[in-house]
Structure 1
Amino acid sequence: MDKNQNNPKKPKTPWPTKLAMEQIYEMNLWGGNKADFYSGEGSHHPKIVNPYLDTVTTFLSSFKKPLTVCDLGCGDFNVGKELVKYAKKYIAVDIVPSLILRNTEKFKVPNLEFHCLDIADADLPIADCAILRQVLQHLSNAEIQSIVNKLTAFKYVILTEHIPEGDFTPNKDIISGQGNRPKVHSGVNLLAPPFNFKVKEGTQLSAIVLDDGKGVIATTLYQIF
Structure 2
Amino acid sequence: MPKKQNHPKKPKTSWPTKLAMEQIYEMNLWGGNKADFYSGEGSHHPEIVNPYLDAVTTFLSSFKNPLTVCDLGCGDFNVGKELVKYAKKYIAVDIVPSLILRNTEKFKAPNLEFHCLDIAEADLPIADCAILRQVLQHLSNAEIQSIVNKLTAFKYAILTEHIPQGSFIPNKDIISGQGNRLKIQSGVNLLAPPFNFKVKEETQLSTIVLDASKGIIKTTLIQL
Over the residues paired in the alignment, what is the CA RMSD in angstroms? 0.8
Contact 2:13 2:121 in 1 (8 A): no
1:146-225 paired onto structure 2 within 5 Å: 146-224=146-224
TM-score (norm: length of structure 1): 0.94
Higher relative contact order (CA 8 A, sep 6+): 2
Match of 1:73 in 2: 73
Residue by residue over 1:151-194, the C-alpha shift from the partner in whole angstroms, topping out at 9 and shown as x without a partner, is 00000000000000000000000000001011110000000000
Task: Quickly say closer, same or farther: Cα 1:117–1:169, change in 2 above 3 A.
Answer: same
TM-score (norm: length of structure 2): 0.94
Q: Which amino acid aligns with 1:88?
A: K
Match of 2:32 in 1: 32
Match of 2:57 in 1: 57
The alignment partner of 1:202 has SS state of strand
Residue by residue over 1:5-33, the C-alpha shift from the partner in whole angstroms, topping out at 9 and shown as x without a partner, is xxxxxx84421100000000000000000
Residue by residue over 1:187-208, the C-alpha shift from the partner in whole angstroms, topping out at 9 and shown as x without a partner, is 0000000001000000000110
Calculate percent identity across the aligned residue pairs.
Answer: 90
Q: Which runs of 5+ in 2 are unaligned?
A: 1-10
The alignment partner of 2:208 has SS state of strand
1:134-145 paired onto structure 2 within 5 Å: 134-145=134-145
The alignment partner of 1:170 has SS state of coil
Q: Which amino acid aligns with 1:223?
A: Q
Cα distance between partner residues in 2 of 1:212 and 1:166: 10
Give 4+ residue runs of structure 1 displaced > 2 Å after superposition. none
Q: Which runs of 5+ in 1 are unaligned?
A: 1-10
CA shift for structure 1 position 211 = 2.5
Match of 1:14 in 2: 14
Match of 1:4 in 2: none
Q: Highest CA radius of gyration, 1 or 2?
A: 1
